[in-house]
Amino acid sequence: MSAPLDIPVAILAGGLATRLRPITEKIPKSLVPIAGKPFLAHQLELLQSRGIRRAVLCIGYLGEMIQRDFGDGNAFGLRLDYSFDGPKPLGTGGAIKRALPLLGNEFFVLYGDSYLPVEYRPIAEFFRHSGKLGCMTVYRNEGRYDTSNVVFRDGEIAVYDKKNRPPEMRHIDYGLSLFKAAVFNSYSADQPFDLAEVMSKLVRQKQLAGFEVRERFYEMGSPAGLSELETLLKTGKAGMTKP
């Protein structure tokens, strides 16, 4: 069990989860049952075991169901707050912009379909020592688990592009990042924008630190990922960090 961390986590859980339909026609992705309980329960238990004590759920589609089922988060040993997109989807960046009053000056961002058995404290310490405005965790993927989208060179994010992917891309955005709130000052409130746009801008400004993780990522945003994670959680091995 990790010592408590004073940095909150924003969980991006507002998507429509079209790849998981028909499962997600009546429930949001976070409530999809895996190994006997909603995915979000597994996610929160893992966060709590890594020292996280506060999470803000950025929600939209069927988000009221998540709030109803998970409440203040006390049952999971952490505090949960909720930030709703409102009348229109805000995108991953716009959702964070809206949640800033709940997040404070610096915070982690985690995708709502990611299960990441990694320690958070070393990443937070690395970020603080970097002096940069943002930090992306990367994994040397070599095209194995999804399409690689990062050129990570000499400890730096040299290129991040989800559309144009040259062959020298060996790494992938692991699904966990850290930001200072000031990064979002220049973006308009209530205007949709993507987090990838924010990260690409930080790369150009040389303000995005890169932290390489050794533990592979798991996701439940696709039928294949959902099936794999179900097997791992049933065996109890997915939450283990490699020695």
pLDDT digits (tens, 9 = 90+) for 89-100: 899 999 999 999
Q: What confidence tier does 225 reach under pLDDT thresholds 50, 70, 90?
A: confident
The token pair at 66 is: 């998540």
- The partner residues of 108 in beta bridges, in order of sequence, read 9, 178
pLDDT at 136 over 90: yes
Q: DSSP character for 94?
A: H
Q: Is the pTM of this model over 0.85?
A: yes
pLDDT for res 146: 75
Q: What confidence tier does 243 reach under pLDDT thresholds 50, 70, 90?
A: very low
The model's pLDDT over 53-91, given as tens digits with 9 standing for 90+, comes to 999 999 987 889 999 999 999 999 999 999 999 888 899
Location of structure tokens 């994010």: 157
pLDDT at 16 over 80: no
3-state secondary structure of 236: coil
- Residue 185, C-beta contacts closer than 8 angstroms, at least 6 positions apart: none
SS3 content of the chain, % helix, strand, coil (to 5): 35, 25, 40
Asked whether the beta carbons of 92 and 198 are under 8 A apart, the reply is: no
Asked whether the beta carbons of 8 and 110 are under 8 A apart, the reply is: no
Q: What confidence tier does 50 reach under pLDDT thresholds 50, 70, 90?
A: very high
